[in-house]
Amino acid sequence: MNKDLFLQQLSVNERDFFVAFDKMMDELKVHSLLVGDSIIKYKLNPKAKHVPIMCEVKNGKLRVVIGLNSLPNIKSYGGYIDSLPEHIKKDFREVKKCTFCVPVNPKDCGMLREYIIDGKPYYAHSHGRKVVIDKFLPGDCEYYKQIIIQELNHAR
């Protein structure tokens, strides 16, 4: 797969992050599929329909989208997320909320799972839950590695 066109669209900082991220995914034995010149899908089996992780260039900026599919285990992320830098915690605080529950109390929805970050409860719904990463610092992909491994294992 030729990723040159994809890389050309990225800033130097985004390119450095993406190269490290792509290498990490390769080391995890994850298949990548380039769609056009602006989306790379990562999945364990190239024939699988489920795409747990995707990198895309949208509006001229890199975004990494991680689907939170091992939702029953999301509570286990809380302690790990607490140890992450603030700019990464932000991504987990902004997980897509349930559109079915609003304005009903989220605790009344059987599809939601609660997780705690810095002592405050957050909720992820079993539909449309994903973390969108759009700010990249050197070394960040190592922080995401444990969550990515868990999500990939769930996608098996």
Question: pLDDT 10s digit of each residue in the chain, 156 long?
Answer: 578 889 999 999 999 999 999 999 999 888 898 888 899 998 888 887 777 788 999 888 999 888 776 555 566 666 778 888 888 888 877 765 555 555 556 566 666 677 778 888 877 766 556 778 888 887 888 888 877 887 777 666
Task: Give the CA diameter of the chain.
Answer: 48
**pLDDT, position 97:** 54
Residues 6+ apart with CB under 8 A from 90: none
Using CA atoms, how far apart are residues 69 and 103, in angstroms rounded to an integer?
A: 24
**pLDDT, position 73:** 58
| Helix segments in the chain, DSSP class H | 4-8, 12-27, 75-82, 86-93, 140-155
**pLDDT, position 9:** 92
**pLDDT, position 103:** 53
**pLDDT, position 22:** 93
pTM: 0.79
**pLDDT, position 3:** 85
Task: Look up residue 44 and give its amino acid.
Answer: L
